[in-house]
Each structure stands twice: as C-alpha cells, then as structure tokens.
Amino acid sequence: MNILAIGDLVGNSGIKKLKSCLNEIREKENIKFTIVNAENSAEGMGITSQNFNDILALNVDCITMGNHTWGKKDIFKFIDNPKLIRPANYVEGVVGKGYNVFNALNKKIAVINLIGRVSMNVLSENPFKTANKIIKKCNEMGVDMIFVDFHAEATAEKIAMGYYLDGKVTAVFGTHTHVQTADEKILPKGTAYITDIGMTGPKHSVIGMDIEVSIKRFETTLPERYKIATGEAMLNGVVFNVNDDTNKVESIKRIMMT
C-alpha cells in the first residue's frame, strides 16, 4: 500500500500545482491514501474555506496544519471536519482534533499532527509526551498504521522525534521549513523517517515568498511585508511503500515535480 505525503502548500500557486499533478502521481505511484499539509495555503498564512474546499475536491484523505493554523478566522467554520487535523500538542481545550483515524483498503490509518517547540514562537505542550498518549490510544483502537506530521523548525528536534518514535509508529515526516531534505531512511526499529518533505508552491522563491522582498528584509532588517512569489511552481512530497502484511514501510521515495 502506497501512502503519499505532500509538503506545505504555499498559496493558490501550491493548490493549483497540487491539482495539476496529483492524479498523475496517484496513477504512477499507485497511491491509496494522501496526506497534505495546508497551513500556508491562504497566501502563506492559514487556510480559508475556499482553500479547504479546493483541496477536498481533490479527494485528499487528510489535511494537516501547523504554526499558522489560526492565521485565518475561516478555519473555525470547518475546524471539526474529520479530514482536518491541527497540532495535537496545542494547549488543552483548543478546538479541533490533533489526530484522526481513517479507513483505507481495510486498514486503520492514524495521522497525528505535532508542532515543535524550538524557535516556533507557539505556546504548546510537550510534543514527545503528547505523541505517546495518542499512540497508546491508537494501539487500543487496533490501528494498523500511524503517520506523524511533525511541523517543526529545528532539525535536531525532528531527528530526535524520529528516534523517539522509532518502532512505535509507521512513519515520521517533517514539515515547516519548506526545503526537502535528502535524509529519508528506515530507522533501526522499522519507522520511516525524513526531516522535511519540502513545499508545494513557487519554485523561484525564498521558501515560497517573493525573492526581492525577502532579501530586503535580511539586508535592511526592516519589517517589509512578505508576499507570495509568482511564476513556475513545484511540488514536493514523499511516497511511503508499506508492506500490507507487516504494516511496515519498505521504502521511501522523494517526489519533486516542476
């Protein structure tokens, strides 16, 4: 069974690129379940009702979020949709779900969304302890596979999470930095891991943002307003090939389409 995870959608450019490429990827890679990170889909910050509906129209199975979850007030209109999950380690009592269990080809597939605490400027609970609590619940429900979208800045925190969950979950993949890493691997106890699956949005950009504006911010330190870059888009993601008998990942394949 092949599971597809798509890196952070950046603006309408990212959504359009996903729309143009998704069927091709599904057919070529025999994809049976799709996870998409969409916390930047509303022109770089948050998600709107229109963005959400556009993504749902592509028959995506699960939409994950991150530090810009609350970037657009629209999200409160559809926060309870079962296909949408936000970081599970937001403070207790926050609306929405941090994980959900889905059914595909007679398999119970759990997807957990977590947010890092290093250089993220988001008030959150311990993602490591939160993960353990959810995994315990998933095991009690007889879940077959568990996928973790760890939305975090620090490479070290992501790597540590991978080893921490090794043998406990099917795969840990990082989002947020928008740069696809070439460190995909199967960890010693069988969990698949990659530090960041990249982004889906403007190719010639600074992690999706306009190049000139980004350089000006770094050059002058003035608070220049960010804007989404224009032009050709790219799509980043990964395909996890899961053995149907063991529910373990046998291989990971990075996807980059321009």
As a whole number of Å, the end-to-end CA separation of the chain is: 26
pLDDT of the residue at 226: 81
Q: How far apart are CA 77 and CA 79, in angstroms?
A: 6
The CATH superfamily label for domain 2-202+230-257 reads: Metallo-dependent phosphatases (3.60.21.10)
Per-residue pLDDT, averaged over 11-33, amounts to 97
Cβ-contact 170, 247 below 8 angstroms: yes
Place of tokens 């928008």: 178
Q: Exposed e or buried b for every residue in 140-161, given b needs 16+ CB within 10 A?
A: eeebbbbbbbbbbbbeebbbeb
Per-residue pLDDT, averaged over 4-18, amounts to 97
The pLDDT tens digits of the residues spanning 138-167 come to: 999 999 999 999 999 999 999 999 999 999
- Residue 158 half-sphere exposure toward CB, CA atoms < 13 A: 27
pLDDT at 26 over 90: yes
| Paired residues of 4 in beta bridges | 34, 239
Q: Give the pair of three-digit tokens for residue 113.
A: 């969304």
Q: How far apart are CA 181 and CA 201, in angstroms?
A: 16
pLDDT of the residue at 84: 98
Q: Of 68, 151, 176, 178, which one is the catalytic site residue? A: 68
CA angle 2, 133, 46 (to 5 degrees): 65
Q: Which amino acid is at 60?
A: V
Higher pLDDT, 123 or 11: 11
68: annotated active-site residue: yes
Per-residue pLDDT, averaged over 188-192, amounts to 98
The pLDDT tens digits of the residues spanning 56-87 come to: 999 999 999 999 999 999 999 999 999 999 99
